[in-house]
A = this chain, B = another copy of it.
Amino acid sequence: MNSTDVQQFYARHMQLLDGGEAEAWAGTFTPDATFAAPSMTEPVRGRDGIAAGARAAADGRTAAGEVHRHWVAMTTALNTADGIETVSCVQILAVPRGGAPRVHLSCVMRDRLVRQGGQLLVAERRITRDDRPGG
Q: Is A79 an interface residue (CB 8 A)?
A: no
* Whole-angstrom CA separation of A107 from B67 in the bound complex: 10
Chain multiplicity (copies): 3
* A contact set with B: CB distance below 8 Å: 3-4, 7-8, 10-12, 14-15, 67, 69-77, 87, 89, 91, 93, 95-106, 130-133
* Whole-angstrom CA separation of A76 from B102 in the bound complex: 24
* Whole-angstrom CA separation of A10 from B17 in the bound complex: 24
* Whole-angstrom CA separation of A8 from B1 in the bound complex: 12
Q: When the two chains form their complex, are residues A104 and B93 in contact, meaning their CB atoms are under 8 A apart?
A: no
* Whole-angstrom CA separation of A96 from B69 in the bound complex: 21
Q: When the two chains form their complex, are residues A87 and B15 in contact, meaning their CB atoms are under 8 A apart?
A: yes
